Amino acid sequence: MHARLDHVGVNVRDLPAQLAWYRTAFGLGTVFEFRLDGPGLSGVVLEHPHGWRIELLARPGSAPGLRAPDPMTAALTEGYGHFAVTTPELDPVYTALVAHGAGEVLKPGPSPEPGVRMAWVRDPEGNLIELIERGTTVDP
């Protein structure tokens, strides 16, 4: 089977605030916005210049789900735990995200994967994001 990951969907409480944060923190551009009037679902698909996408979804009446403070706690709950992005320069990306309001979870350091460094942050609503620096990364 030939398949490629298209995007990660993140359900959010405050779509305008999360949209502004992801655009600024990651330099994402809007691909398209939509609204499904029946269920009152609003969404925006964002894309990074290197092609990865994230879809932010909001629906009135939503309730907070998993808001694990770190990846080890997230692993105690089955289902979505985090999404990850790669970068050739982990330390400045981590610092920039924290400066843009990301919560610090785990400072840059070695990953369990040999030759890889990682760090973890939380977006303003508490969703975990892993940052990965591979020794051979060419495309962030």
Judgement on whether residues 52 and 97 belong to the same structural domain of the protein:
no
Token reading at 89: 């320069």
For residue 128, give the CATH number of its domain: 3.10.180.10
Instruction: Print the domain residue range for 114.
Output: 71-134
At residue 68, the pLDDT reads 86
Token reading at 58: 């909001």
pLDDT tens for each residue of 3-26: 688 899 999 999 999 999 999 999
Judgement on whether residues 51 and 78 belong to the same structural domain of the protein:
no
Say yes or no to pLDDT of 137 above 90. no
Tell me the backbone φ, ψ of residue 20, rounded to 5 degrees. Answer: -60, -40
Q: Is 71 exposed, middle or buried (0-12, 13-18, 19+ CB in 10 A)?
A: middle
Judgement on whether residues 88 and 129 belong to the same structural domain of the protein:
yes
Kindly report whether the global pTM for this prediction surpasses the value 0.85: yes
Q: Are strands 116-122 and 128-134 parallel, antiparallel or unpaired?
A: antiparallel
What domain count does the chain have? Answer: 2
pLDDT more than 70, % of the chain: 96
Question: What's the pLDDT band for 128 if we cut at 50, 70, 90?
Answer: very high
Question: What's the pLDDT band for 136 if we cut at 50, 70, 90?
Answer: low
Query: Is residue 3 domain-resident?
Result: no
Query: Is residue 140 domain-resident?
Result: no
Query: Is residue 122 domain-resident?
Result: yes
pLDDT tens for each residue of 34-91: 999 989 999 999 999 999 999 999 999 998 887 888 888 888 887 888 999 999 999 9
Judgement on whether residues 37 and 78 belong to the same structural domain of the protein:
no
Q: Which residues pair with 8 in a beta bridge?
A: 54
